[in-house]
């Protein structure tokens, strides 16, 4: 699920079922938020969803998913 904005920012919502608490949220926000090209990240332990906004010319959704995988939160397809 994603959409393209006129400015070129892309937004996507990812689901990672292994998100269980505030610690997971903080870990993900730090890891994904620290990636070059990611402008916004919001993670919820209630919905287990990660909302990201990023510049697709600088970072790909696949790279964001790989970071989540590395942190122990594989994205549900
Ligand atoms: Cu946790």
pTM for the structure as a whole? 0.89
Residues in the chain: 77
| Distance of CA 57 from the midpoint of ligand 1 (Å) | 31
Task: Give the per-residue pLDDT at 4.
Answer: 54
pLDDT in tens, 28-51: 999 999 999 999 999 999 999 999
In the reported structure, the alpha carbon of residue 45 is separated from the centroid of ligand 1 by a whole-number distance in angstroms of: 8
Q: What's the CATH number of domain 9-53+66-70, 1.10.260.40, 1.10.10.10, 1.10.150.120, 3.30.70.100?
A: 3.30.70.100
> What's the rounded Cα separation, in Å, for the pair 54 and 50?
13
What's the pLDDT band for 56 if we cut at 50, 70, 90?
very high
**Domain spans of the chain?**
9-53+66-70
Ligand 1 centroid – CA 37 distance (Å): 25
Of 71, 75, 45, whose CA–CA distance to 61 is shortest?
A: 75
H helices of the chain, in order, are 22-33, 61-71
The SS3 of residue 17 is: coil
């Amino acid at each position: 699920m994603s959409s393209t904005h006129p400015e070129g920012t892309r937004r996507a919502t990812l689901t990672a079922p292994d998100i269980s608490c505030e610690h997971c949220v903080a870990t993900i926000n730090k890891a994904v938020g620290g990636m070059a090209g990611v402008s916004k990240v919001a993670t919820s332990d209630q919905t287990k969803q990660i909302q990201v906004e990023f510049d697709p010319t600088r970072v790909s959704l696949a790279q964001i998913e790989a970071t989540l995988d590395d942190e122990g939160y594989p994205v549900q397809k």
